[in-house]
A and B are shown apart, each in its own frame.
Chain A
Amino acid sequence: MTTLPETTDKKLGLVIDLDTCVGCHACVISCKGWNTENYGAPLSDQDAWGASPSGTFLNRVHSYEIQPEAGAAQLVHFPKSCLHCEDAPCVTVCPTGASYKRAEDGIVLVNESHCIGCGLCAWACPYGAREMDHAEGVMKKCTLCVDRIYNENLPEIDREPVCVRTCPAGARHFGDLGDPDSAVSQLVAERGGVDLMPEQGTKPVNKYLPPRQKDELGTTGMHAPRLDPVIEDAGGFLGWLDKALDRLPGGAGSASDSETR
């Protein structure tokens, strides 16, 4: 059925930390790998080694430059995949019932054997989360690795979406955003997580954590400040060495600049 469930028991989704993401695209590659070998039709490529390569991806990393009113511009890497919206417009437009949102955990999926490849769900999605596979003629989208998160054949540590598992920076978090006490919900509350395109009325489950405010580098300029001596009244061998060096030409004790230390 392409009507949306009234409520879902859980709201499984991702929290993506834009402060931490380094833009390495490891999540893109691991997603392509896992989802080519597992759930549904493989993610095909066209002209992969030719002049104009193109392919199906469920997760893509954009990069944006943000220019504040004053100060230096900031670069933000921005991974984007399906946001598993509560009010998913891609589901209700589907004419065949291939697209659906699961009542138990809120994951939005495509039943590929029912998909006629009309593409209307991709038209309805504001985020570009759905891509038609050119080889298979069916719609592909992020499954939140539904074949990993409940998979008892995998070690427990691997039972999370492969993009989260692989992220070397820890910029991606997976959990139940419907439970206010879950780690991901706490993170969203603490860091002021935001919805993408809230005016589209899709109520996305995935949240984005905005970058933290940058440190001010101050007015030190190109070079590090010269270091002052740490100890003013050194004794023993170091004291003797200090005085002996000061007596050399150019030193603090020499006639030419005796006012400096």
Chain B
Amino acid sequence: MHPAPSVIIFTTLSGLGFGLLFWLGLGLPAVTGWTAFAFFAIAFGLAVGGLVASTFHLGHPERALKAFTQWRSSWLSREAVVSVAALCLMGLYALGAVFFAASWTLPGWLGALGALGVVFTTSMIYAQLRTVPRWHTALTPALFLAISLAGGALLAGQVSFALALLPLAGVLQVLWWLRGDGAFAASGTDMASATGLGDIGAVRAFEPPHTGSNYLLREFVHVVGRKHSLRLRGIALGLGYVLPIILLLVPFSHLLGLLAVISHATGIAASRWLFFAEAEHVVGLYYGKR
């Protein structure tokens, strides 16, 4: 799949932002006044910034409001609805925390639930696609949720939670990669089933429909950088999970905390790039490519 920068930025930043909103909604940390303002500004900046970035790849962003209508059937529509609901609830909670030094439990808890809901619906957009066997697993939402919760705990300064969640997310990440590497072969879709000609013999793509490229090849049969896959996995694992854990284990300082956050976000961005770049769509079979 084509690793569109807008989607990588969106899922990385908004995952982090909604993760932070989750912990803030639970009152961890229970901040008020200017401190609360700073926390909520970072959280909303990441979450909303990510959502805005996701509209950059739309053909007609001016019609984006229509995406709120099909929540009965579409995970993308559900994501839109849940994200606005979560942002409104957390906005209300932030209002109380910043201006009235209050901790309104109900909107806080509902907002925290909504923040997790956003991450879950985002992950389901990918996990639902049978056409991309690497994504089509319950491990995808599990990984997205774990990363978001761990990153949010890191940003919220919840060291003990972060120290539990970062290893969990790291383990899920490795499991997701291991399962993903055999997913295409295990899906049962191959040249024979794609063409229905397997009964005659071994099918080989002889000529593509056109000599030039097309939308399908650009969007779904993207092979750039797959050769660096192993190195990038090492970088993602090291920066995203291992280094932040080490930085949290040494005596706390704000500088090291900031370094841990930056390292984590960079590692997750690398992991998210691989999420798209390594994903193979079954339509590639019709072109004899994957």
Which residues does A use to contact B, with CB under 8 Å? Answer: 1-3, 18, 25, 28, 52-57, 60-69, 73-76, 78, 80, 89, 91-98, 114-120, 122-128, 131-132, 134, 136-139, 194-201, 208, 210-211
Q: Determine whether the beta carbon of B201 is less than 8 Å from that of A66.
A: yes
A117, B76: Cα distance in complex, Å: 13
Q: Determine whether the beta carbon of A96 is less than 8 Å from that of B193.
A: no
Q: Determine whether the beta carbon of A61 is less than 8 Å from that of B60.
A: no
Q: List 5 A-B contacts (CB under 8 A).
A: A28-B209, A96-B70, A116-B67, A196-B194, A210-B200
Which residues does B use to contact A, with CB under 8 Å? Answer: 1, 57-61, 63-64, 66-67, 69-70, 72-77, 80, 125, 128-132, 187-189, 191, 193-197, 199-210, 212-216, 219-220, 281-283, 286-287
Question: Which of B195, B216, B283 is A64 in contact with, Cβ under 8 Å?
Answer: B195
A42, B130: Cα distance in complex, Å: 30
A105, B183: Cα distance in complex, Å: 36
Residues of the A chain whose Cβ atoms lie less than 8 Å from the Cβ of B131: 89, 123-126, 200
Residues of the A chain whose Cβ atoms lie less than 8 Å from the Cβ of B199: 210
Residues of the B chain whose Cβ atoms lie less than 8 Å from the Cβ of A197: 189, 193-194, 282
A111, B273: Cα distance in complex, Å: 32
Residues of the B chain whose Cβ atoms lie less than 8 Å from the Cβ of A131: 214-216
A176, B156: Cα distance in complex, Å: 60
Distance of B9 from chain A, by nearest CB (Å): 16
Residues of the A chain whose Cβ atoms lie less than 8 Å from the Cβ of B287: 62
The winner among A28, A65, A69, A137 for most chain B CB atoms within 10 A is A65
Q: Determine whether the beta carbon of B58 is less than 8 Å from that of A126.
A: no
Q: Determine whether the beta carbon of B283 is less than 8 Å from that of A128.
A: yes
A200, B59: Cα distance in complex, Å: 28
A80, B208: Cα distance in complex, Å: 12
Q: Is the interface of A mostly helix, strand, loop or mixed?
A: loop
Closest to A91 in B: B73
Q: Determine whether the beta carbon of A64 is less than 8 Å from that of B76.
A: no
Closest to A118 in B: B58
Question: Which of B63, B207, B216, B281 is A116 in contact with, Cβ under 8 Å?
Answer: B63
Q: Determine whether the beta carbon of A117 is less than 8 Å from that of B206.
A: no
Residues of the A chain whose Cβ atoms lie less than 8 Å from the Cβ of B80: 95
Closest to B130 in A: A200
Question: Which of B64, B75, B193 is A199 in contact with, Cβ under 8 Å?
Answer: B193
Closest to B282 in A: A126
Q: Determine whether the beta carbon of A93 is less than 8 Å from that of B196.
A: no
Question: Which of A73, A94, A124, A196 is B196 in contact with, Cβ under 8 Å?
Answer: A196
A138, B199: Cα distance in complex, Å: 38
Question: Which of A67, A124, A137, A198 is B59 in contact with, Cβ under 8 Å?
Answer: A137
Residues of the B chain whose Cβ atoms lie less than 8 Å from the Cβ of A199: 187-189, 193
Residues of the B chain whose Cβ atoms lie less than 8 Å from the Cβ of A68: 200-201
Residues of the B chain whose Cβ atoms lie less than 8 Å from the Cβ of A200: 130-131, 189, 282
Task: Given A62-B286, A66-B201, A66-B203, verify A119-B66 contact (CB < 8 Å).
Answer: no
Residues of the B chain whose Cβ atoms lie less than 8 Å from the Cβ of A69: 201
Q: Determine whether the beta carbon of A94 is less than 8 Å from that of B70.
A: yes
Residues of the A chain whose Cβ atoms lie less than 8 Å from the Cβ of B64: 116
Residues of the B chain whose Cβ atoms lie less than 8 Å from the Cβ of A120: 76, 125
Task: Given A118-B58, A119-B57, A200-B282, verify A66-B70 contact (CB < 8 Å).
Answer: no
Q: Determine whether the beta carbon of B75 is less than 8 Å from that of A96.
A: no
Q: Determine whether the beta carbon of A57 is less than 8 Å from that of B214.
A: yes
Distance of A255 from chain B, by nearest CB (Å): 56
